Amino acid sequence: MKLRQKMFIGSAILAVVPVVITGLFTSQIASTLGQQALTESAQSHITSVRDSKKNQIEDYFTSLFNQIRIYADTSTTID
């Protein structure tokens, strides 16, 4: 091989290796950050669903308690 070809191949390797390494590190960091963002989003969604269901259950039992109190106060129940 001529010196010119050796220099070209050496330069190409010196240019490509850092780009590949940087790409690998960047993709790893992006993957980690993306996973964290998805986890936080899922936890936030689950928390909001939990709070919504809690409010629905509390409203249901409040309504049920009020209906029982109304039925207890009616004249047909008292007699």
CB-based contact 49:55 (threshold 8 Å): no
pTM (2 d.p.): 0.60
Map tokens 């992006």 to a residue.
30
pLDDT per residue as tens digits for the range 1-27: 899 999 999 999 999 999 999 999 999
Please, are residues 77 and 71 in contact by the beta-carbon 8 Å criterion? yes
